[in-house]
Structure 1
Amino acid sequence: MIELMIDGRTKDLGGFTVSRILPAPRRRMVGPFIFLDHMGPADFAPGQTAVNVRPHPHIGLSTLTYLFDGEIMHRDSLGVTQAIRPGEVNWMTAGKGVVHSERTDPARIASGGRLDGMQAWIALPTESEEADPFFSHHEGAELPAYEQGGLFARLVAGDAYGAKAATPVSSPMFYVHWEMAQGVRAAPPKGKGSGGMSERAVYVAKGMVEVDGHKLRPGQLAVLSAEAEPVIEALHPSTVMLLGGEPVGERLIWWNFVSSSKDRLEQAKADWAAGRMALPPGDDQEFIPLPEDPPVSPPQQTHPL
């Protein structure tokens, strides 16, 4: 039932850790998901900055930020300033180009606290890669949720279990947050053989679950086979993210740029280097320069079953 297990690579970003899951050497995408990070969990003392990401550009993707704990302040070149808090969604479609920053609000720095959450990049379908950029924010009450028998489930984006989230996705996909009490058993969204999505995966953010006799620990992602219809059992109280969808085709990544065209990546690089992409109003005094070469992550551990 499991095609591949991926162990996220833990990286210290100066006070908090990120578990980088996708892309992996043996699995670059799951449906349209081309990038997946687990931020934290990390606790910050009063006066310590949690997140301080200077303005930087994107093309050809949507970013999806979802928090379990803490707060991040988003600013972008569209003029949007929006804090994201637990259970909410910040969805930014870059399309032909957008610039944004992610920082900790000064009031949060003064008081300290915890940060724990997920950030995903969703590759746009070919016909939408050059769409106009836009941003949307969704409160928890706007997102379909279910709670019964020790299972809390929230549909963060896309379609699953007969429900549809308000998040404005561009292709068939799903992204689900589960909170599972110990002993709870539940099924992921259906696979291709049952009329569901072609590609699916299970990520454990906290606790431990069992899938088809295999134990998944925090920081591990299991890519499910297309025809599998497994049951997921929580061996401890667990936080689980379920993700997947239909493939959008081969994509190239260079730094923060995603495209089906190498020439388009070169144009984005030239635009950023020449200052042709506007910075966010209210956060335009600094930016991340174009790297000479994009940061290369060490290979992640992957192993087939």
Structure 2
Amino acid sequence: MTAIIERKIEGRTRDLGGFEVRRVLPAPRQRMVGPFIFFDQMGPAAFEPGTGIDVRPHPHIGLATVTYLFDGALRHQDNLGVDAVIRPGDVNWMTAGRGVVHSERTPPPERARGHRIHGIQTWVALPADQEDVAPAFHHHGAASLPEFERGGVRFRLILGTAWGFEAPVEVFSPIFYLHANMPTGTEAKLDIEHDERAVYLVSGEVELDGEILRAGEMAVITAGSAPVLSANESSIVMLCGGASLGERQIFWNFVASDAARLDQAKRDWTEAAAADFPADGRFTLPATETEHTPLPK
């Protein structure tokens, strides 16, 4: 009998100074699931008044970033001129393509009064023939995303297609990304029409055809299977996957199909910083920012 779960991945906790993230992808034995190449859970974390998240401007290439929150708010600013605040249930999709620079910070009102943050940040690799597309940013409010119920489980479709529904976010390859709220005792059959699929448990306890999944774990589902996901207690679950894009290389915030692209991006970021980010360069700073994150050694 074929196992339902091909692999379990336990998220690795990292301290980013003031709050923790749980990194799931890339993992040593599982670099990607479909086009998903990076998967981080932020928090849950609480910030006292006057404190917050400050991710200084940094570059990306060859991917799209996806931010989705359960709690809190996050301000995105980039060198395309976008200044947007994301709140729970919204989707921020940033296509890095040939190169973009952005920062992520706690908005001033939340910083002043103190706040909580909890969410998922992922990177989606771009197809090889789209790695150098023009950078772009799109914000999609929670009300624009399809919501539906199956077996008492409430789903919101964040990206792509699932069970006949389609999200409004423009994507570059077959993909799905779902947020599920599961009351105790509910269940849903995961007969989602995609090649590669994974289940990540944010909170609670669930089973996949009787095999327990605990908070902070991702289960990669065997291709062709249709396991039943059931909730032993009230749970928040994320489901993701899609078509494989083949192998990708990753360094810092850069993703590429070959090492030469990574090396060029390293040089371009280092040279831009040394020249105080000239306006005609590949990488420039967001208009209101003066800081940047140096290239790691």
TM-score (norm 1): 0.92
Hey, what's the Cα distance between the residues in 2 that align with 1:288 and 1:3? 37
Say which SS state the counterpart of residue 181 (structure 2) adopts.
strand
Moved more, 180-189 or 113-122: 180-189
Give a deviation string over 1:234-265, Cα, whole Å, max 9, x none: 00100000000000111000110000011111
Structure 2 residue aligned with 1:9: 12
Alpha-carbon shift at residue 151 of structure 1 (Å): 2.0
TM-score (norm 2): 0.94
After the TM superposition, which segments of 4 or more aligned residues of structure 1 sit over 6 Å from their partners? none
Alignment of 1:97-246 (within 5 A): 97-147=99-149, 150-190=152-192, 196-246=193-243
1:269 is aligned with what amino acid? K
Hey, what's the Cα distance between the residues in 1 that align with 2:13 and 2:33? 20
The 8 Å contact of residues 8 and 219 in structure 2, kept in 1 or not, is answered as: yes
The 8 Å contact of residues 34 and 244 in structure 2, kept in 1 or not, is answered as: yes
Alignment match of 1:266 (pick from 247, 263, 281): 263
Moved more, 210-219 or 149-158: 149-158
Give a deviation string over 1:9-49, Cα, whole Å, max 9, x none: 01122222111000000000000000000000111222221
Hey, what's the Cα distance between the residues in 1 that align with 2:115 and 2:102? 23
Structure 1 residue aligned with 2:76: 74
Moved more, 142-151 or 196-205: 142-151
Say which SS state the counterpart of residue 173 (structure 2) adopts.
coil
1:15 is aligned with what amino acid? G
Hey, what's the Cα distance between the residues in 1 that align with 2:183 and 2:294? 45
Alpha-carbon shift at residue 150 of structure 1 (Å): 3.9
Alpha-carbon shift at residue 149 of structure 1 (Å): 6.0
Structure 2 residue aligned with 1:280: 286
**Counterparts in 2 of 1:158 and 1:40: CA distance versus 1, 3 Å:** same
Hey, what's the Cα distance between the residues in 1 that align with 2:165 and 2:150? 16
Structure 1 residue aligned with 2:275: none
Alignment of 1:23-34 (within 5 A): 23-34=26-37
Say which SS state the counterpart of residue 274 (structure 1) adopts.
helix
Hey, what's the Cα distance between the residues in 2 that align with 1:189 and 1:124? 25
Structure 2 residue aligned with 1:255: 252
Gaps spanning 5+ residues in structure 1: where? 191-195, 293-305
Give a deviation string over 1:41-60, Cα, whole Å, max 9, x none: 111222221x1100000000
The 8 Å contact of residues 42 and 116 in structure 1, kept in 2 or not, is answered as: yes
Hey, what's the Cα distance between the residues in 2 that align with 1:148 and 1:124? 31
Give a deviation string over 1:63-114, Cα, whole Å, max 9, x none: 0000000000000110000000000000000000000000001211111121
Alignment of 1:46-57 (within 5 A): 46-49=49-52, 51-57=53-59
**Counterparts in 2 of 1:229 and 1:149: CA distance versus 1, 3 Å:** closer
Alpha-carbon shift at residue 147 of structure 1 (Å): 3.9
Moved more, 160-169 or 144-153: 144-153
Tell me the percent identity: 55
The 8 Å contact of residues 150 and 188 in structure 2, kept in 1 or not, is answered as: no
